[in-house]
Structure 1
Amino acid sequence: MRAVRLSVATAAATAAALAAVTGCTEKSEAAGGDRVVEVTATDSECKVSKKEFPAGHVQLDVTNKGSKVTEVYLLFPDDRIVSERENIGPGTRQKVTAEVKAGDYRIACKPGMKGKGIRQDVKATGGGEAAKRDPRLDAAVASYREYTQEQADGTLPRVKVFADAVKAGDVAAAKKAYAPSRIGWERTEPVAESFGDIDPKVDLREDGLEEGQDLEKDWTGWHRLERSLWKDGKLTDRDSALADQLVEDLTDWQNRVGKAEITPTSMANGAKELLDEVATGKVTGEEERYSHTDLVDFKANVEGAEKSYALLKPVASENDAALTKELDTQFAALDTLLDKYREDKGKGGDGSEDSYEFTSYDKVGKAERKELSDAVNALAEPLSKLAAAVVATK
């Protein structure tokens, strides 16, 4: 599952804001329909309204009746993620549209956003085929698959530069290489996280360790090295080993990206997840707490979301022209706002060159962070409707 990105206390504070902008208090338009599964999450239960539903498009209508912030996942039996929604605050509702073939699945609720969660086995019934698609959506999936592979392929050389600097004990060079090494991952994070086991190895934050895990033995990946570079100010033999492991784990990711399950709805939901990542980690400054390179991650998350949207837009605009007009406006506004913090006006937006630099986030004031948060929320609200627009029929 995805590594915890923020403390439970912070999640509780941000979930209400997220709920307000994702339409999570709305009633399911198809409540009671055979393709709607009502999921009731509490601190100790994960109840589902039905254990079987037709293959094709399914909607999870999630209500959190517990006291803790929760996450809900639709999983393959091997724990790969079909779809997910994080940071569902107490007393709020969110809807997730997914596309599934006939077969066995699990729905998992994770109160407190840790552990494997409370699980229910469910089944999609039918002839084994997914819902019929507009051919343009098949083309969008193919293009997005190429994009994710390109991002993974482009990440490895930059990660090796970072790892080599760490192993050489060159703190200054490693600091310079750190943020660029993360861009491809941040652009395609939902696909990377769909495998379940890679994300905790490479992108876990210090406060994301599970109970019983050891800080020194079990914490690996970028953020462990980030702490050594910016907090400790020195590199050890342990850091050299961690650098080699990071390259190994990301090579595994590179080799597996092409096998990821990608659908039009997972692309749309992934775009929304990337905005939630920004809202709950980057805007708060928790993601890059030592390096303060949050705005590089922030920009990469937005670029990844915008890529998914651009590929899905031809179909979504026919089904909901008002929605895509609003998304165009809000993406442009957020891009313009982020450019205010660019210190290197070089390239980076097309994935071919990633040399851009941003203001250190510890120099971004409270009012400016609020402005960024408001822009993210203004985009997240319409973006939460993209999956439904993609599968709508006129």
Structure 2
Amino acid sequence: MRSFRPRALGTVAAALSVGLLAAACGGSGNSGAAPGGEQQTEVKVALSDQGCAPAPASVAAGPVTFTVTNAGTAKVTEAELQSNGRILGEKENITEGLNGNFALRLDPGTYTMYCPGAAQDTSTFTVTGGGAAPAAPADTSLAKATQDYHDYVVSEVAALVPATKAFDDAVRAGDIPKAESLFAPARTHYESIEPVAESFGDLDPDIDARVNDVDDPAQWTGFHRIEKALWEDKSLAGMTPMADKLDADVATLQKNVATATYQPAQLANGASDLLDEVSTSKVTGEEDRYSHTDLWDFAANIAGARKAFELLQPALAAKDPQLAQQLEARFTDVTSGLAKYQQGNAYVDYSTVPQDQRRQLADAVNALAEPLSQVSGKVV
């Protein structure tokens, strides 16, 4: 989720996620050699109430690691690097005392560092050079990974479109039981590729915002607005325009992903972002607060992260076989833990999962998050 829609985590949420976030957001952030011996440039982004100006504000084209730190602000917890309205990389949920990083290969040009909530929420970041960023050494496995990930995203959204329409058709027909049965299955296709959707400006908030994520509840749209109508209000009166807009927004997403391209590091960054989604809303029960279908989303986030990892795995295994093996084992641990809550093709109502078992799920994600955060620096 984009944090310009701030999330108000309660005491339970904070208790469950603080240890996980410390691992998921951690990382050395040191400059080092990129694949093939290229030197990575480190840019420090210090979050404060005033802003998040990158230091240095100008670097040469090539691989760049952004190290995001928070020394004491509750207002600003995210930094995003944007270009032409699209998020190229970000690190969310950097609360006081935490840090995190993301890596990208950047071409010459002018970029924007955005930190929602700050007094000056945008700063200019410049990449210099006479031409394109130096190309990474030819690596057919990485080239294949990015193309295959594009194809995966396109296929997930292709499945999302009819699944959402079936859900919205039930909403338009006023069929509450049918709409409830179709809500979680439709969302799995969205949750598996959510970092991609987040990169397209306001599209993710329009599709997936919760009520505390919007300034004006009258402008709240998307899956969770209809979720509230189904499970809390128990009435679909007035929801036809919401269903129509949701169909239209998902169609826009399909159009956007058709031409999107990705860097290997973006696959790794996205996988880490999906684990962050688990830690900040799925494990805590905040995401699907009316339907309690959080485990569906949890599983979809993990599946999307695992897909990105599996596509990068051949290149990662060649560079750091121990890390690749560790990640494979820890993905297996998380998916095995989730399997305990399956009932056929569905998952149990999350409100029935005790706090100690939620902690076990969080611990498994915690063990996965830290090594996964190392991958982008290996493939940038």
Per the TM superposition, whether the score is higher than 0.5 is yes
SS in 1 for 2:53: strand
- Which residue of structure 2 aligns with residue 200 of structure 1? 205
Establish whether residue 50 from structure 1 lines up as the match of residue 53 from structure 2: no
1:18 and 1:89, CA in 2 relative to 1: closer, same or farther beyond 3 A?
A: farther
Instruction: Give me the whole-angstrom Cα distance separating, in 2, the residues matched to 1:333 and 1:84.
Output: 27
Which SS does the other structure have where 1:382 is aligned?
Answer: helix
Worse overlay, 253-262 or 377-386: 253-262
Match of 1:337 in 2: 337
| 1:325–1:278 CA distance, 2 compared to 1 (3 A) | same
Matched, 1:131 2:135: yes
Find 1:120's aligned residue among 120, 123, 127.
123
CA contact 1:103–1:128 (8 Å) conserved in 2: no
Where do residues 92-241 of structure 1 align in structure 2 (5 Å cutoff)?
A: 92-111=98-117, 118-126=121-129, 127-129=131-133, 131-133=135-137, 134-210=139-215, 213=216, 215-216=217-218, 218-236=219-237, 238-241=238-241
1:383 has 2:372 as partner: yes
* Alpha-carbon distance in structure 1 between the residues aligned to 2:352 and 2:40: 51
> Per the alignment, in what secondary structure is the counterpart of residue 347 of structure 2?
coil
Shift of 1:96: 1.5
Deviation at 1:138, TM superposition (A): 1.1
Q: Which residue of 2 aligns with 1:265?
A: 265
Could you say what secondary structure the match of 2:262 adopts? Answer: coil
Number of aligned residues: 370
Amino acid at match of 1:85: K
Shift, 1:106, TM fit: 1.0
The answer to whether the 8 Å contact 1:82/1:261 transfers is no
Query: Structure 2 CA distance, aligned partners of 1:259 and 1:207?
Result: 32
Cα separation, 1, equivalents of 2:168 and 2:25: 43
Identity fraction in percent: 39
Deviation of 1:28 (Å): 2.2
Amino acid at match of 1:20: A
Q: Normalising by structure 1, report the TM-score.
A: 0.89
The answer on whether the counterparts of 1:102 and 1:129 sit within 8 Å (CA) in structure 2 is: yes
CA distance in 1, matches of 2:17, 2:287: 17
* Selected match of 2:351 from 362, 369, 386: 362
* Distance of 2:40 and 2:360 partners within structure 1: 42
**What residue is the counterpart of 2:46 in the other structure?**
40
What is the rounded CA distance, in whole Å, between the counterparts of 2:222 and 2:346 in structure 1?
Answer: 22
| CA deviation after TM superposition for structure 1 residue 107, in Å | 1.2
In structure 2, the CA distance between the partners of 1:240 and 1:192, relative to structure 1 (3 Å rule), is: same
The residue identity in structure 1 corresponding to 2:259 is K
Contact 1:15 1:87 in 2 (8 A): no
Q: Give the Cα–Cα distance (whole angstroms) in 2 for the partners of residues 34 and 272 of structure 1.
A: 20
Deviation sequence 1:341-370 (CA, Å, 0-9, x none): 1101xxxxxxxxxxx210010111111101
| Structure 2 CA distance for partners of 1:117 and 1:343, relative to 1, 3 Å | farther
Out of 17, 23, 26, the residue aligned to residue 24 of structure 1 is: 26
Asked if 1:277 corresponds to 2:284, the answer is no
Is 2:40–2:63's contact at 8 Å kept on the other side of the alignment? no
After superposition, what is the alpha-carbon deviation per residue over 1:105-130, rounded to whole angstroms, capped at 9, x for unaligned? 11122348xxx971111111221245
TM-score (norm 2): 0.92
Q: Deviations over 1:52-103 (max 9, x none)?
A: 1122210111221232151011111x22100001000112222221122221
What per-residue deviation string (whole Å, max 9, x for no partner) do you get for residues 289-341 of structure 1?
Answer: 00000000111100000000000011111111111111011000111111111
> Measured at CA, do residues 314 and 101 of structure 1 come closer, stay the same or move farther in structure 2, by a change above 3 Å?
same
Q: Give distance in 2, aligned partners of 1:203 and 1:71.
A: 18
1: distance between equivalents of 2:168 and 2:267?
31
* Unmatched tracts of structure 1, length 5 or more: 345-355
**SS of alignment partner, residue 46 of structure 1:** coil
Q: Which amino acid aligns with 1:24?
A: G
CA 1:182/1:276 → structure 2, altered by over 3 Å: closer, same or farther? same
Q: In the aligned structure 2, how far is the partner of 1:249 from the partner of 1:27?
A: 36
What CA distance in whole angstroms lies between the structure 1 residues aligned with 2:224 and 2:80?
25
Contact 2:61 2:132 in 1 (8 A): yes
Distance in 1 separating the partners of 2:214 and 2:21: 26
Q: Secondary structure at the match of 1:36?
A: strand
Task: Give 1:5 shift.
Answer: 6.8
In structure 1, C-alpha distance between the alignment counterparts of 2:234 and 2:65, rounded to whole Å:
48
Q: Which runs of 5+ in 2 are unaligned?
A: 34-38
Tell me whether 1:73 sits opposite 2:80 in the alignment.
yes
Please, which moves more after superposition, 159-168 or 129-138? 129-138
8 Å contact from structure 2 (residues 282, 294) kept in 1: yes
For residues 25 and 56 of structure 1, the distance between their equivalents in structure 2, rounded to whole angstroms, comes to: 20
Q: Distance in 2 between matches of 1:383 and 1:144?
A: 17
